[in-house]
Amino acid sequence: MASVPHERDLLDELGRGDAGARAESWRYSKTALRALSQQDFVAADAQAELPAALLAQFDWPQTRGRRVVLVNGTLSERYSDMAGIGASITAGVSADNVYPIRIDGDVGAPVHVVHASVPSAQASRWRASAEVTIASGRACIIEQHLAAEGAAVFGSLQRRYELAAGTQLDLISLCELPESAALYRLIEARVGAKATLRATHVLLGGRLQRMDLQVDLAGPEARLESRGVFALRGRDHADTQLDVRHLARDTACDIVWRGVADQRARGIFHGAITVAAGADGSDAVLSNKNLLLSPNAEIDTQPVLEIYADEVKAAHGATVGQLDERALFYLRSRGIPLAEARRMMVTAFCSEVLAGVADADLRERLAQRAQAALPTSA
Amino acid sequence: MLKIENLHVRVAGKEILKGLSLDVKAGEVHAIMGPNGAGKSTLGNVLAGREGYEVTQGSVVFEGRNLLDLEPEQRAAEGVFLAFQYPVEIPGVNNTYFLRAALNAQRKHRGEAELDSMQFLKRVREKLAVLHLKDELLHRAVNEGFSGGEKKRNEIFQMALLEPRLAILDETDSGLDIDALKMVADGVNAMRSPERAFLVVTHYQRLLDYIVPDFVHVLADGVIVESGDAGLAHKLEEHGYAWIAERHLPAGAGAGAA
Ligand SMILES: Nc1ncnc2c1ncn2[C@@H]1O[C@H](COP(=O)(O)OP(=O)(O)OP(=O)(O)O)[C@@H](O)[C@H]1O
Ligand SMILES: [Mg+2]
């Protein structure tokens, strides 16, 4: 693949266009993008072998038989295990690396979608898109992004979720990247009447993790529950951009995001909620709290609320703070070592986000990963 | 057990303790009284190792070691316990989890085997019974939403569980109802032993009717100005701190009671 000369071109190529350029006003993301756009990438190898360590990260016993694995953006017959996926789910490949997944009727156990990035000898990149349709019933998708360490890998992923009227999708997404990997995600969801999207996103590490979540609450009483957390260290960089549009009456969104940054990490949270004219009786709540564990870390948060409808209930708040020194001393005064006391408090800080994950094993797994993503030292 | 000599402590650039000396032997209960702002909590915080307290002079030796060299968690594991005047709420940290982590961290530090959850819960039940604490409080986050009295009882419960060698109780009686005061006193009395010492900070004689101290000290303006036996607390109750001030300050310099 040829090198990409300008960040603007890169954004265009990623489907961001003008909107992308506007959102890229945040200087750190701008710098990171510029660096990426100046790099030469080759196409990532779709047949790459997955290192054992990576396999172990997603081979969860409870999702065997319901696993769709993509290697560098391409569906891998070899690593996927769809034996247990019944008639209610269709997953396949269409042209241009677009993977349509259609879920029709209640699916008891979750479907596990794994995106593995494996570096080549030199910097490489991959692109993929998926379209997920929940035609009826209730579904649960666990999405996992991971990457092997090595040369830079830059993945970009576009995903569309279509929730038909009355359906529910529980989406749990864990993205763990080493410092060598970058991922650009554009997630678009359209939620129909009386349908509910419950999404939990956990973003850990990465040279650049950019995630756009654009949700249209398109039918009356459509509902979004968005939970998310990023935990960053080293020179990790995460940039989350939420854009929720209330387009119909009595729609609701409930957004709780947390951010933790240590060392020299950079995090951004941009949460925009628009209640369009006519979307009367809507309810919008956004809470974003962030924790800086080092004086060199930085998190910027920006909630934006625009209301053009009547009888709307809306509340939003955003904070950036540090660990409560008094609480830390209290824990230590009972004999808990500093590093553990800090870990306990960071875990507590993130717990509200993970509390929404009903499956206790999965919740515990996410909590452990988040904990492991942060340095243990003071 | 604890020997404090000529301790000078600055907080936020201001000298709070101005040459405090105190000698506490194993098995003893010392009560510390004194007007608001005298430096009682400062003393407790310095002993427990809180940051921001600058020791400019003097020494603190605990069981033969320089206490000031140790981190707060090391002090705890060595047997120092501070019941906070204002216990801290820690949302999201489960009380039981916290207590077990604390107990096991201390045991690990001392080279003792960690307790599994069965052993731990057995111990918790025993101690809860003594303090008549609802075990519902254990399932909540640390001190979160606890009433003032519940927080204080939780401090004593933690003390009972952790079995420190030196317990510093900073106004644990403030805000307790009459029954709770007796429970807390019973909890402390049950733990009195020849190996353990207590430093009880209080404003009220009533607590000392239940926990009869071996010594009573008056801390005023950063130093101990008067020491005596349990009778001293009664005299203070009768005469107030003005009486102490008159005895210790030259005429004209004596401030009124705080
Ligand atoms: N962080 C701080 N910054 C500034 N001044 C402080 C700080 N901590 C304590 N002080 C001051 O030190 C003095 C002693 O405070 P301390 O809390 O030790 O008093 P105390 O004897 O415990 O009083 P009380 O009986 O009211 O609890 C007070 O004048 C207080 O304002
Ligand atoms: Mg005090």
Express each pLDDT in A85-137 by its tens digit.
765 566 665 556 667 777 777 666 888 999 999 999 999 999 888 888 898 88
Q: What are the backbone dihedrals phi and psi of residue B245, each rounded to the nearest 5 degrees, phi first? A: -55, -45
A225-240 per-position pLDDT tens digit: 999 999 999 999 999 9
User: Can you give the pLDDT at residue A257?
Assistant: 97
Of B103, B161, B170, B90, whose CA–CA distance to A348 is shortest? B90
Higher-pLDDT residue of A106 and B201 is B201
| Ligand 2 centroid, distance to B173 Cα (angstroms) | 12
User: Can you give the pLDDT at residue B30?
Assistant: 97
If pLDDT is split at 50, 70 and 90, which confidence band does B252 have? very low
User: Can you give the pLDDT at residue A182?
Assistant: 93
Residue B106 reports pLDDT greater than 90? yes
**Looking at residues A176-180, what average pLDDT do you find?**
94
Beta strands in A178-262 (DSSP E): 181-191, 196-205, 208-217, 223-232, 237-246, 252-261
Beta strands in A48-107 (DSSP E): 67-71, 74-75, 89-91, 98-104
Tokens of B139: 């399932």
Q: Which residues surround ligand 2, an ion (CB under 5 A)?
A: B 40-41, 85
CB nearest B162 (choices: A324, A327, A334): A334
B135-185 per-position pLDDT tens digit: 888 899 999 999 998 999 999 999 999 999 999 999 999 989 998 899 899
What is the domain partition of chain A in residue ranges? 7-322
Tokens of A242: 């939420």
| Ligand 1 centroid, distance to B220 Cα (angstroms) | 12
> Å from B75 to nearest chain A CA?
8
Least confident of A8-17, A112-121, A213-222, A353-362: A8-17
User: Can you give the pLDDT at residue A2?
Assistant: 40
Which residue out of B33, B42, B201, B223 has the highest number of ligand 1 atoms within 8 Å of its CB and is therefore the one to mutate? Answer: B42
User: Can you give the pLDDT at residue A10?
Assistant: 64
Q: What are the backbone dihedrals phi and psi of residue A263, each rounded to the nearest 5 degrees, phi first? A: 50, -125
The answer to whether the beta carbons of residues A179 and A148 sit under 8 Å apart is: no
> Å from B257 to nearest chain A CA?
31
Largest interatomic CA distance in chain B: 64
Q: Are strands B141-142 and A196-205 parallel, antiparallel or unpaired?
A: unpaired
> Å from A286 to nearest chain B CA?
20
Torsion (CA) B177, B46, B65, B191 in degrees, nearest 10 = 0
**CA–CA separation, A256 vs B196, rounded Å?**
48
Higher-pLDDT residue of A37 and B34 is B34
Q: Which residues of B touch A347 (CB under 8 A)?
A: 92
The predicted complex's ipTM stands at: 0.94
* Chain B interface, best mutation among A322, A323, A325, A330, by max B CB count within 10 A: A330
CB half-sphere exposure, A154, CA atoms < 13 A: 22
CA distances from A14 to A59, A201, A255 (A): 30, 21, 26
Q: Are strands A42-43 and B65-66 parallel, antiparallel or unpaired?
A: unpaired
Residue B257 reports pLDDT greater than 50? no
Helices B230-239 & B241-248, crossing angle to 10 degrees? 100
| Ligand 2 centroid, distance to B85 Cα (angstroms) | 6
Query: Which one-letter amino acid corresponds to residue A343?
Result: R
Contact (CB<8Å) B76/A330: no
User: Can you give the pLDDT at residue B21?
Assistant: 97
Mean pLDDT of chain B: 91
Collapsed DSSP state (helix, strand, coil) of residue A84: coil
Tokens of B126: 């025993």
If pLDDT is split at 50, 70 and 90, which confidence band does B241 have? confident
Of A285, A200, A210, A272, whose CA–CA distance to A240 is shortest? A210
Sign of the alpha-carbon torsion through A317, A318, A323, A325: negative
CB nearest A349 (choices: B75, B92, B109): B92
Contact (CB<8Å) B90/A330: yes
User: Can you give the pLDDT at residue B258?
Assistant: 38
If pLDDT is split at 50, 70 and 90, which confidence band does B131 have? confident
The answer to whether the beta carbons of residues B99 and B105 sit under 8 Å apart is: no
> Å from B89 to nearest chain A CA?
7
Q: Which residues of B touch A349 (CB under 8 A)?
A: 92
Question: Which ligand is closest to the CA of B35, given by its number?
Answer: 1
**Looking at residues A243-258, what average pLDDT do you find?**
98
Beta strands in A93-193 (DSSP E): 98-104, 111-117, 124-136, 138-147, 153-163, 168-177, 181-191
pTM for the full model?
0.85
Rg of chain B, C-alpha, whole Å: 18
Mean pLDDT of chain A: 88
A46 sits in which H/E element:
none
User: Can you give the pLDDT at residue A103?
Assistant: 76
Contact (CB<8Å) A348/B91: yes
User: Can you give the pLDDT at residue A9?
Assistant: 61
Beta strands in chain B (DSSP E): 2-11, 14-24, 29-33, 53-62, 65-66, 80-83, 90-94, 141-142, 166-170, 197-201, 215-220, 223-228
User: Can you give the pLDDT at residue A87?
Assistant: 58
Q: What percent of chain A has pLDDT over 90?
A: 64
Of A188, A348, A323, A352, whose CA–CA distance to A255 is shortest? A352
User: Can you give the pLDDT at residue B254?
Assistant: 41
**Looking at residues B89-98, what average pLDDT do you find?**
94
**Looking at residues B180-192, what average pLDDT do you find?**
92
Residue A113 per-residue DSSP state: E
Higher-pLDDT residue of A9 and A144 is A144
Of A77, A68, A72, whose CA–CA distance to A150 is shortest? A72
User: Can you give the pLDDT at residue B132?
Assistant: 78
Q: Which neighbouring-strand residues pair with A215?
A: A189, A244
Walk me through the domains of chain B, giving residue ranges and CATH numbers: 2-248 (3.40.50.300)
Q: Give the pocket of ligand 1 (CB within 6 Å).
A: B 11-12, 14, 16, 34, 36-42, 85
If pLDDT is split at 50, 70 and 90, which confidence band does A299 have? very high
User: Can you give the pLDDT at residue A356?
Assistant: 86
| Ligand 2 centroid, distance to B73 Cα (angstroms) | 22
3-state helix, strand, coil in chain A (%, to 5): 20, 45, 35
The closest-lying atom of ligand 1 relative to the alpha carbon of residue B39 is 18
If pLDDT is split at 50, 70 and 90, which confidence band does B245 have? confident
**Looking at residues B209-227, what average pLDDT do you find?**
95
Residue A13 reports pLDDT greater than 80? no
Collapsed DSSP state (helix, strand, coil) of residue B48: helix
Least confident of A53-57, A117-121, B248-252: B248-252
Residue A24 reports pLDDT greater than 70? no
Contact (CB<8Å) B92/A336: no
CB proximity list for A222: less than 8 A, separation 6 or greater:
A163, A191, A192, A193, A194, A195, A196, A248, A251, A252
3-state helix, strand, coil in chain B (%, to 5): 40, 30, 30
User: Can you give the pLDDT at residue A85?
Assistant: 72
Of A154, A148, A145, A152, whose CA–CA distance to A121 is shortest? A152
Higher-pLDDT residue of A110 and B78 is B78
User: Can you give the pLDDT at residue B249?
Assistant: 58
A376 sits in which H/E element:
none
The answer to whether the beta carbons of residues A269 and A259 sit under 8 Å apart is: yes
**CA–CA separation, A215 vs A219, rounded Å?**
12
User: Can you give the pLDDT at residue B253?
Assistant: 46
Residue B244 reports pLDDT greater than 90? no
Q: Are strands B197-201 and B166-170 parallel, antiparallel or unpaired?
A: parallel
The answer to whether the beta carbons of residues A230 and A209 sit under 8 Å apart is: yes
